Amino acid sequence: MLMRPSNMLPRATDRLPLGASGLSVSPICIGITGDPATISAAFDAGINFFFLTADLHWPLYEKLRRGIEDLLARSPSIRDQIVVAVVSYLDQPLFEALQFHEVIDAVAGLQRVDVLLAGAIPNEYSLLGRPAEQATGGRYHAIYNARASGRHGARAIGASFHDRRCALVSLNNNLLDISYIRYNTAHPGAATEIFPQLRPDRAGLIYNFKSVLSYVSPERFRQLGLDDRYWCPDVVDHYRFVLSNPNIDGVLCSPANPDQLAELLAALEKPPLTFQEQQYMLWLSNVGSPKFF
């Protein structure tokens, strides 16, 4: 993978190759939003990557679906300028047919799904020791079959992982075009269990989710007895924490409205966090939030 300059965070207008699919995506991927206008604002800012769901969280994505629909209504040419990923948490057979077609039918102008995602891969049972074309079991089997069917127009496949060992095996064997992992100040385990062991020739992208899970609010900050002598990180600083690690290519984020999106984009203009700043945020999360594993 090409590494970005060490003194810069990624920008919304950057483009990353999505595996061998021929697609390229922005390092910011927009998921749930509370305002459809966020989507047009994101596109106008240079973001071209959007993340929808096919099943479990369908109601949460209503505003995002409407936002994509409004964006596509602006011009027919926009469809080829954006990349839409859709995640399903179901194994076959429903995975391969019904779920993705429901999304296509629900968004006027969508026409196709660009990236098929298997949600919440729990462990490595389905792929250890097997090349991609022989991957069997559960959601891995389903996404390979779904892409091979050609019914959704998808050019890329990916997955989100709850098991770090599974993510590492998948990344180092180039099984997927994109992998979503969880790395934040409450879940820093990828720093020791994934990143140091990545092959330098990996082709798939690594995006993060749950970046702000361990955010410590100003109220909680004061409850801990901390005052103005200490830094109270903003929500967007948690995205900076994630993206300060050069092994992370991008983030899945959920700005509630265009103003929150603007705050995130402004934060990306700042330099990466220093090692000391990252260590401070890890400490603050440990004392200020419930301990997560």
Q: What's the pLDDT tens digit per position in 135-188?
A: 445 677 777 777 877 777 889 999 999 889 889 998 999 989 999 999 999 999
Q: pTM for this structure?
A: 0.90
Residue 4: how many other CB atoms lie within 10 Å: 17
Percent residues over pLDDT 70 in the chain: 88
**Model confidence over 217-271: pLDDT tens digits?**
999 999 989 988 999 999 999 999 999 999 999 999 999 999 999 999 999 999 9
Sign of CA dihedral 218, 223, 228, 233: negative
Per DSSP, the three-state class of 189 is coil
Domain residue ranges of the chain, discontinuous segments joined by +: 16-215+236-273
Question: Token pair of 68, please?
Answer: 């994509």
Residue 26: how many CA atoms within 13 Å on its side-chain side?
A: 24
Could you tell me which of 186, 172, 162 has the C-alpha nearest to residue 247? 172
pLDDT at 94 over 60: no
Which one is the CATH code of 16-215+236-273: 3.40.50.300, 1.10.10.10, 3.20.20.100, 3.40.50.1000?
A: 3.20.20.100
pLDDT in tens, 53-84: 988 789 999 999 999 999 999 999 999 999 99
Question: Are the C-beta atoms of residues 181 and 139 closer than 8 Å to each other?
Answer: no
